[in-house]
Amino acid sequence: MDAIDREILRELQADGRLSNQELAQRVGLTPSPCMRRVRQLEQDGIIQGYRAVISPEAVDRGFEVLVSVEVRRDREAVEAFEAALQDIPDIIEAYRLFGSPGCLLRIAVADLRAYERLWIEKLTALSGVTEVNSQIIMKRIKEPTGLPVGLPAGH
């Protein structure tokens, strides 16, 4: 990846709806080589997809909670727990962590009542779960905007 590829990545992270024409102009290429570079970045798995950023309130998901979960530390319990998470759409991100807690979830629901229902009916009922701790998000201070795409290490 060279400096132009990195510039393409920066521009597309800022606005994934840029036309190839506009993108090419911004990175100093003509449209054809720009399109080839974007296609190559996609084929190489560097660009993994394009998404719309949706207002959580607009889809009744404005109440967000970070949940730390402890799961029994055996392979079967962890695998069953992780598989079960895939079937709970309210869980919008999930991470297995080193140390404690063993797992961190980001959950988006309508309100406290909806979270309480999820907590009682699903989270605490998952196989292997030994502890569930909830942190209600008061305010998002920094929105995800993409990865910093700078120069390669050592430059």
The reported pTM is: 0.84
Q: How far is CA 78 from CA 71, 85, 127, 134, in A?
A: 7, 11, 9, 20
pLDDT at position 76, please? 93
In contact, 106 and 74? CB cutoff 8 Å = no
Q: If residue 93 lies in a helix (H) or strand (E), which one and from where to where?
A: strand 91-96
Query: If the chain, 155 residues long, is cut into consecutive pieces of 10 residues, what is the mean pLDDT of each piece?
Result: 94 94 97 97 96 93 97 92 96 94 96 97 93 94 86 57
pLDDT at position 73, please? 87
pLDDT at position 151, please? 63
Measured CA angle at 88 (ends 87, 91), to 5 deg: 130
pLDDT at position 44, please? 97
pLDDT at position 143, please? 85
